Structure 1
Amino acid sequence: MATIKDIAKKSNVSTATVSRVLNNDDSITVLEETRQRILLAAKELGYQTIHERRKQQSESQKNNPSIGIISCQTVEEELNDPYFISIRQGIEEELNKQGINKVGSYRLNDMLTVPHDLLKMDGLLIIGRLGEDVLKQVTKHIMNIVYINYVPDEELYDSVTIDFEKSTKKALQHFIGLGYKRIGYIGGVEREHLKQQKVISEDKRLTTFENMIKNGEFEGSEDIYIGEYTMSHGYELMKKAIKKKNVPKAFFVASDPMAIGALRALQEAGLSVPSDVALVAFDDIEAARFSSPPLSTVKVYTKEMGQTGVKLLMDRMNGRKLPVKVTIPTSLVIRQSCGSSITKQPFKEVIQ
């Protein structure tokens, strides 16, 4: 790279004169012809001032920032439920679309301390629930943060989420519209992971279910089964419900993998879906279309959630100060497992 000494030699002036001219020193008196000769020499040699280099570096950083992705789920949880994998795929696709290749991936339960390189990121995308202790460490260093599938403080942080309460009511009201008076619930637990500890958090699907029972919309307080968000736990929990006899004629299952497991347990017990027991699930993963029978389920647009998170982060890094919360809508996809017919639908749904 050219130096001030090179420019001085080419323009036949002192290095001090070159330095003061290139840095726009108004106190120096120099002939215009000499000034232009220095500037021309600098241009021909490809010299950049400190100001120009900083500006170029800033623009480069703006065009290709370093982005961190924190997954608040364990590897096992992701493998058991494609919901969060799909969100991450949406993030990665959008980052690639925008030409951003400086990406770091982190998993919360692996952090004994916050990694030093994470704190150097220009922006951060957090999938799930991040504890307050980690959040405080991160926000001291990173101002541009977007949460996906969780809203910690909408007055401080950008977030992308769905309305779990509204989505759950949509499924349960569909059952009510079909005439079911008693509905069972199979679900898992929401957790925060940190330093090998697991803190159970509120699951809006369960609390919405319980509140609707309290409001007298249907019966089911004795038909709630909670385990882990896995296919095997859906299977075991439905077997537990079957052993109690007098199985509810309808079940809301809080994830598709759990519903697929529950479906297997019903079939092994000789119960037909939907004629003996109807099912509505949650997520609409690809396997829901290919189960037997195909699952009716609340469709969550997970990939779009990830893509929207990246767009919010880029907007924030481009200067927006006001926090934005985006709630992605869901839709109820009607297939065979709920025993619905088009003429019985209480509101608009997606028929497949």
Structure 2
Amino acid sequence: MANYKDIESTLIHGGVYGDRFTGAVNVPIYQTSTFEQEGLGKHKGWEYARTGNPTRHALETLIAELEKGKAGFAFSSGMAAITAVLSLFQTGDRVIISRNVYGGTFRVLDKIFRNFGIKYSFEDTSDLKSLTQKLSKDVKAILLESPANPLLTVTDIAGIGKIAKENGILTIVDNTFMTPYLQRPLELGADIVVHSATKYLGGHSDLIAGLVVVNSEELAERLGFIQNATGGILAPFDSFLLIRGIKTLAVRMDRHVENAQAVAKYLQNHEAVKQVYYPGLEGAQGYEVNQKQGKNGGAMISFELKAPYKISKFFSSLKLIALAESLGGVESLVCHPATMTHASIPEEKRKEIGISDALIRLSIGIESIQDLLFDLEQAIGESEK
């Protein structure tokens, strides 16, 4: 493992770099299910590809290095990664989750893990004083997103980490929106970092993957056992694609954020816009905290249009920005959280936590900013008719 001064170099040269057998600068795709052994108990470090694969190992080493953790683990999806992490807990344990969190995280807790006696509760993780008062003996973890999906709520990760450690609780941070290029939760006191690597880390909307990084050997051993035992591992080809995507993360994120800041300011000053949610805007909820713990506000924006602007007409009028699930690709995407990413959360709960039916979420890509602003302007204009 090399020690590079800047993350821009680590993104390209970190982890397992190249192939020592041939001199190839890219780690090969080891497309094999098993490995020949020299004799009983004698192998070259590899036995069966569910347990370990050189291409996947290169990716896992890279993400651990980027997040400054002890070990990394690659899974077949972001939800497989979340599921593996939640498998650390037992019947009677409670997990506190952010008030606005990805709908799939809520769904797996509510529909799957609750069947096994693992409890959860929604709390405002951005209010540290209130959260401290909600801690009970059965709470074993705080799972948060910052900025959170879809209202971009910012939580003080260092503050949560301190509270959690004082109470013997794990801090789990979904860092999908920010990536290790913009924010490193383990350095702020978190114990576990999760990524839907489908998003910015892959960056090209061509793979599904999940990553986890832990801050201790004990957690590494436990999660490694779960990964091998349950088998939701990432395939060699997708591991290769993800390594390739990560190499350009810095240059992509710089352009994503540059465009997002311009779009957020445009929306903030537009007469048709009721509310903008973007932690990179001065005065936004959590702006100061986000400035302290992250490089910038990221590239996700949510907003609401005023009446009588019709969101259904807005969606159908967009020409460049695609209406689609997911985020973090080079192309800009728009979605309607209430009926798409957060549809699994009951309507009354969505309203309680502030996810209105009028909310629009944008994943800002790396296209020409002039073209993006033009597309938004004409779609907003059409939505008034």
TM range (shorter): 0.3 to 0.5
Q: Which structure would you say has the larger Rg? A: 1
- Higher-helix-fraction structure: 1
TM-score by length of 1: 0.32
